[in-house]
Amino acid sequence: MIASKKYPWVVVGLLWVVALLNYIDRQMLSTMGPSMQMDIAELQSATNFGYLMAIFLWIYGFMSPVAGIIADKLNRKWLIVGSLFVWSGVTFLMGYATTFNQLYWLRAMMGVSEALYIPAGLSLIADYHTGKTRSLAIGIHMTGLYMGQALGGFGATIASEFSWQQTFHSFGIIGIAYSAVLIFFL
């Protein structure tokens, strides 16, 4: 299948789902604040909630160039699989958090693990798509990011139907399972 002319597009499709999960997992927290505030009193402070959002972005921003260096040195497939597995595990564990400090450190870990994906993913797409298909392949992949950002907003809807804990658990399990899919097909 790897020698197939269709496989470069399979790579884009597989990574599209990773991009989708990447942005869903990072966005869910921002929409589930009201549900979480009932169980974690420290989140009733807008300042504390802001800290949770900021720690992810600060670490993600700092790690992005470092992640590019790492992606140039390591096997990108395994970096993508490992990154997805770790951030999905972090998402799953967020469903067990009972304090602000637990959430804070989990968000920091998510910043590191999610930052590893984009440089490795885009580089892998560039390996399979040269010349006339590269821009289209990257453009298609980018729609996964935007779709994930939009769908992450439904975290509050899911949390209201079930619970914020179950929402984190469910998306964590989906990501962990998908990392196993990537082992075989990426």
What would the pLDDT profile of 170-184 be if each residue is shown by its tens digit?
A: 999 999 999 999 999
- Helix/strand/coil for 39: coil
The mean pLDDT value of the chain amounts to 94
What would the pLDDT profile of 64-122 be if each residue is shown by its tens digit?
A: 999 999 999 999 999 999 999 999 999 999 999 999 999 999 999 999 999 999 999 99
Q: Which amino acid is at 134?
A: R
pLDDT for 57 beyond 80: yes
User: What pTM did the predictor assign?
Assistant: 0.94
Q: How many CB atoms lie within 10 A of CB 125?
A: 21
> Which among 84, 101, 85, 103 is positioned nearest to 93, based on CA atoms?
103
> Which among 87, 65, 85 is positioned nearest to 77, based on CA atoms?
85
Could you give the angle at the alpha carbon of 67 between the alpha carbons of 75 and 170, nearest 5°? 85
